[in-house]
Amino acid sequence: MRRDSTLSFFRQRPPDGLEHVMPVAPAAANRRLMKELRFIAHEGPTTWADFAKEHIHSTPLDTVFFLDSSFLHRREIPVEIFDALLSRKIAITSLIWGEMQDWIADPFANASFRDVLVNAKRKGSSSVLFLDPEEWPAEICETVRYYVSLLSARKYLARHLRREYAEKHETELSIEKLTSIIQSSVGDRGFVLAKKGLRDYGKPNFSADEDLVVAGVTHAILTGHETVILTRDRDPLEQFRKFGYLLDTHYRSSLIAEAFSDTPENLLEQVSPGETPHDCVEPGDRCILDLPPRFTEWVLPRNASPVTVDCHRLAGDGERMKIASLRFGFQREMLRLLEIKGKTGGRNTDLLDGRNCHLAISPPFIPKVCRNAIIGRDRRLECGPFTGPLVDLQYALQEVQRFRLMAIDESLLGTSWGSTGMKLADFCLAKRLNFASDAEWTDIEWEELSKAIYFFDAAASFWVDRGVMLALRHDVRETLVSRGFGWSTSIRDSTLVRHKPTASGRATLGAKPFRRALK
């Protein structure tokens, strides 16, 4: 079975890291476990019955299904599927409604559902929402237009490069050379979109896929209702992947800017050298923030409101029917970023006197500044419908991605959801040079302590008093061994000295291997 080209990205590109995580909430029947600000990818064979069971009936009753025109008019769909969709809510965007007009006039498939939509458009319906993003608040509308144009720039790239070359060399760029330039700079998926953009430029529905994806995600963040995008085309799934990455990156950049504005002493500030290591921000009045490990996780809200969005691409029919799915766990707190983007013309923050804050990722930034943050005044560029920060455009066009794969062990959930161990494992220091909370006694079971140690911050180092080690139960000791730790005769010992790294590669301060210490 031919695999989806977008989901192949998750199989082929090594992740930044592998996380052993607990889900944010128990999963209902037929639901997959999810963690916020993470992708889950899935593809395989399916049937209409399985699709209804796993992707419609298992959703909350207030779920909103955004339909692409390709989902409706290519193949006959069982009436039971439409009944299931209407038991939730269906959303049709303005551009998608425009794409449907040929099918509305001549419904060569799914004619009965065409009648449902026409009647809903004329008389209204509690189950069908005709969505016009222009009716949202002004700042949100500006942000929707911003992201639609940013994603559409991927399809405009070939035309942009050809025009730029003609202006500079006064001659046309050959198709062969244009193809080589695009493939080497934006990868296979970027090339497919750029090639399609050459063919479709000027059509009324040029940005319909991008509008569908951005409207679906924005509606989910605004309302808190779980959202599903249904399509039979490749492009919405690919643009959903890119949009999730962009929104996540901009969101974390915005939170880093807030943390820097609130407590600048917590972040080491390096002045950018005269010869800039990047060309995305203007020289002068710029700096690099040296972020502590996992700082991009620490700045996230501790009690965020999650909302998931799925994009399902169906292909084939009957025995050859298959599905390719991406799910991303957004946070409703992203609404603040959507407001800022619309108010500032595309910046991630309004706190730095006109400067912007970007997570540095390669490309376009050089590797030595990556995993830090860049603060400076954006260089802005125009590419087709998009005008905005060059960093955003580079991140949209180039095949860059931050993501971590998850290994979720459902058996660890047991019956102790929300227990003390999980609260301990969820702890992280919100601000440096500050105590998180007052110390207090808490009752805890051995299993809870073992669970808390196992799921604690992966970057954390464990230092254990010798007296505590001797009192720990065997399974808790083994969990500490798996994490790696250091210990001294006393945690008050002032004679600790730095030693060379151990055989495992971990540098310790006067630490002895656990198994040897028990002899």
Task: Say whether pLDDT at 178 is over 50.
Answer: yes
- For the segment 112-134, the average pLDDT, to the nearest whole number, is 95
Confidence of residue 431 (pLDDT cuts 50, 70, 90): low
What whole-number distance in Å separates Cα of residue 218 and Cα of residue 453? 37
Q: At what angle do helices 234-262 and 138-169 cross, to 10 degrees?
A: 110
Q: For residue range 129-157, what is the model confidence (pLDDT) as tens digits?
A: 999 988 999 999 999 999 999 999 888 88
DSSP for 406-458, please give it.
Answer: EE--GGGTTT-TT-HHHHHHT---SSTTS--S--------HHHHHHHHHHS-T
Q: What is the percentage of the chain residues whose pLDDT exceeds 90?
A: 43
Helices (H) and strands (E) in the chain, counts: 19, 17
Closest of 341, 280, 5, 334 to residue 149, by C-alpha: 341
- What pLDDT is stored for residue 405 in this prediction? 43
CB 256 within 8 A of CB 299: yes
16-25, 73-82, 367-376: least confident range: 16-25
The pLDDT value recorded for residue 438 is: 63
> What pLDDT score was predicted for residue 504?
40
Question: Of 196 and 24, which is predicted with more confidence?
Answer: 196
pLDDT in tens, 287-306: 889 888 778 888 998 888 99
What does the pLDDT read at residue 10? 62
How far is it, in rounded angstroms, from Cα 241 to Cα 235?
10
pLDDT at 13: 59
Q: How many Cα atoms sit within 13 Å of 503 on the Cβ side?
A: 3
Q: Is residue 170 scored above 60 in pLDDT?
A: yes
Quick one: pLDDT at residue 12? Answer: 61
Select the highest-mean-pLDDT range: 16-20, 307-311, 491-495.
307-311
For residue 61, pLDDT over 90 is answered with yes
Instruction: Report the pLDDT value the prediction gives residue 519, as an integer from 0 to 100.
Output: 29
pLDDT-wise least confident of 37-41, 238-242, 474-478, 488-492:
488-492
Place of tokens 């065409």: 114
pLDDT of the residue at 258: 95
Q: What is the mean pLDDT of residues 478-494?
A: 65
Cis peptide preceding 23, ω within 30 of 0: no
pLDDT classification of 28: cutoffs 50, 70, 90: very low
Packing angle of the helix pair 335-344, 138-169 (nearest 10 deg): 50
pLDDT digits (tens, 9 = 90+) for 151-162: 998 888 878 777
> What radius of gyration do the chain's Cα atoms show?
26
Pairing, β 373-376 against β 287-290: antiparallel
- 380 three-class SS: strand
| Residues in a beta bridge with 20 | 407
Encoded amino acid at 149, one letter? S
- pLDDT of the residue at 364: 78
> Which residue, among 463, 467, 477, has the nearest Cα to 507 in the 3D structure?
463
Interatomic CA distance for residues 108 and 110, integer angstroms = 7
- What pLDDT shows up at residue 307? 94
Predicted pLDDT at 449: 86
Parallel, antiparallel, or unpaired: how do β-strands 462-465 and 485-488 relate?
A: parallel
Strands 322-331 and 386-389, sheet pairing: unpaired
Residue 319 or residue 278, greater confidence? 319
Phi-psi region of 430 (alpha: psi -120 to 50; beta: other; left: phi over 0): alpha
Give the pLDDT of residue 20: 45
Phi-psi map region of 30: left, alpha, beta (phi>0 left; psi -120 to 50 alpha): left
428-to-35, 171, 295, 431, 460 alpha-carbon distances in Å: 17, 58, 10, 9, 10
pLDDT at 251: 97
Is residue 248's pLDDT more than 70? Answer: yes
Q: Which of 226-235, 318-327, 437-446 has the lowest mean pLDDT?
A: 437-446
Angle at 49 between CA 48 and CA 52, to 5 degrees: 85
Write down the pLDDT at residue 414: 46
| Strand pairing report for 39-45 and 64-67 | unpaired
Burial 210-243, CB ≥16 within 10 A → b, else e? bbbbbbbbbbbbbeebbbbbbbbbbbbbbbbbbb
Share of the chain above pLDDT 70, in %: 78
341 within 8 A of 146, measured Cβ to Cβ = yes
State the pLDDT at residue 332: 96
Q: Are 58 and 226 in contact (CB under 8 A)?
A: no
Q: What is the mean pLDDT of the chain?
A: 80
What is the torsion angle, in degrees rounded to the nearest 10, for the CA atoms of residue 141, residue 213, residue 356 and residue 294? 140
pLDDT band for position 253 (cuts 50, 70, 90): very high
- Any residues with CB less than 8 A from the CB of 21 and at least 6 apart, and which? 35, 406, 407, 408, 455
pLDDT at 375: 92
Choose from 19-23, 190-194, 389-393, 494-498 the range with maximum mean pLDDT: 389-393
C-alpha distance from residue 141 to each of 138, 215, 334, 473 (Å): 5, 10, 15, 57
Look at 286-290, 357-361, 446-450, 455-459 and tell me which has the smallest mean pLDDT.
455-459
Residue 422: its pLDDT value, please?
A: 56
